[in-house]
Structure 1
Amino acid sequence: MTETTTLEHAAPRARRRREPSKAIAGEWCVGIVGTDAGGAQVVISGDLQLRARRAASCLLEPAAGDSVACLRIAPQEVWIMAVLQREEGTANVLRCAGNLRIAVDGGALELEAARVGLKSEELDIAAQKTRVATDTADLVGREFHLIGTSIKVVGSVLSSVMERVQHFSRHYLRTTDGIDRVAATHLECEAKQLLRLEGEHTLVNGRELIKARGAQIHFG
């Protein structure tokens, strides 16, 4: 084989390598979302009834009656890219499969709505500083745990109803400007070292019995 013949065979291969790659062709269409006889979601566009899947970027879940924009890549591969129009009264549902994370770099994220609801099996909130401002708040749960180095509660009225209250503290100081009243069926005050009662007027009233016992009893 001569050198000329070798170059002639190599030239077509070189031309094939230089040919640009062709992109996969796609066809856009517009249709109405519906269901077929088997209950599967389809898009009706003209005389065609196409089984379509929602694209990952289309977070708004299509509903029956929606006008949608679709991309047809193959005869049996149709993707719903966007919801163009929706009938009034149909709920808007944003849905995605798998984990979802919203990240905002160097800015703030705000949610504004007449009502915001959160429903989850587990809710975790981590923040350096948290501020909640509301006119009325209701917190309902079966079990609560509040742990903090310093806890401060300020208000005008505090009302609590408990079946049982158990309190332990190393030091307990309480100051009341007005009336401090305790009503109980049985009341006990016990001190290991010193028990002191002091007042400008001190009244002790026992309907049936008053008993004082000690190694020494001093009056006056």
Structure 2
Amino acid sequence: MAYALPVEEPGGTLDKGTVMGVQGTALLVMTSQGVVRAGRAAGCLLAPRAGDGVLTAFLPNGEAWVTCVLTRTDGEAEIELPDKTTLRGRELSVESESTRIVSHSISMKGTVLSLGGGLLLQGFAAVQTAACRVGERISRKSGCYGELSEQTDGLDERRAGRMRIESESSYRLRAENADVRAQAMLDLDAERIKVG
């Protein structure tokens, strides 16, 4: 706990001061009463640093607390929240030119989750998706995989205006029943064709 010089007023006072230094959780603040050692109030979310203009509360028991940061010389800021913090609001909006989130674990829940942007870059060691239904509308999709394995328990149906499959070494199609139909022409071109 931080202590300052005794004050005569029974209700305590507020004084504007300047942070001279930070020592762990304690702040050295130059006030009208001189340099005092003050604690940071829980409601002071903006972490004070040297050079900041702050409002310091002096309590009758001799404690001094920095209640808020009044001025800062540059545009940088750090907000320190308690270990467990909840933000509540009917509508919450975060706007910035650039946003960086670093976390050990991120959980997002919502009735509707919407992501939009010019470019989406993903880099994961593993991705797991569990969904009842996934709908995609993509003008162009390209991917490069070291290995791709897909399994469909029900119906796997693909429709396309044109479809082309290229394989550098071998292509194998196995099925209990296979139905290949072409309305106009079916072209099989190979050095050897084995049937049966």
- When normalised by structure 1's length, the TM-score is 0.74
Deviation at 1:197?
Answer: 4.8
C-alpha deviations, 1:161-204, integer Å up to 9, x for none? 11111111121222221242323311112221344354533333
Partner AA of 1:192 in structure 2? E
Is the counterpart of residue 173 in structure 1 residue 164 in structure 2? no
Deviation at 1:74?
Answer: 4.7
> Who wins on radius of gyration, i.e. which is larger?
1
C-alpha deviations, 1:114-155, integer Å up to 9, x for none? 223222111111111122222222222221111111111111
Q: Which of 120, 131, 138 is equivalent to 2:103?
A: 120
Deviation at 1:70?
Answer: 0.6
The structure with the largest helix share of the pair is 1
Give the SS at the match of 1:30.
Answer: strand
The unaligned stretches of length 5 or more in structure 1 are: 1-22, 214-220
Partner AA of 2:57 in structure 1? L
C-alpha deviations, 1:67-94, integer Å up to 9, x for none? 11111115751100121111124x2111
- When normalised by structure 2's length, the TM-score is 0.83
Partner AA of 1:103 in structure 2? R
The unaligned stretches of length 5 or more in structure 2 are: 1-8
Is the counterpart of residue 188 in structure 1 residue 141 in structure 2? no
Cα separation, partners in 2 of 1:36 and 1:159, compared to 1, 3 Å: closer
Structure-2 separation of matches of 1:39 and 1:200 = 80
* Equivalent pair of 1:70/1:78 in contact (CA under 8 Å): yes
Cα separation, partners in 2 of 1:171 and 1:95, compared to 1, 3 Å: same
In structure 1, the residue matched to 2:82 is: 97
Structure-2 separation of matches of 1:120 and 1:205 = 54
Deviation at 1:40?
Answer: 5.4
Is the counterpart of residue 150 in structure 1 residue 136 in structure 2? no
Structure with greater contact order relative to length (CA < 8 Å, sep ≥ 6): 2
In structure 2, the residue matched to 1:206 is: 190
Give the SS at the match of 2:38.
Answer: strand
When the two structures are aligned, how many residues end up with a matched partner? 187
Deviation at 1:160?
Answer: 0.8
Structure-2 separation of matches of 1:98 and 1:201 = 68
C-alpha deviations, 1:32-82, integer Å up to 9, x for none? 101289995300124611000111111111110011111111575110012
Percentage identity across aligned positions? Answer: 18
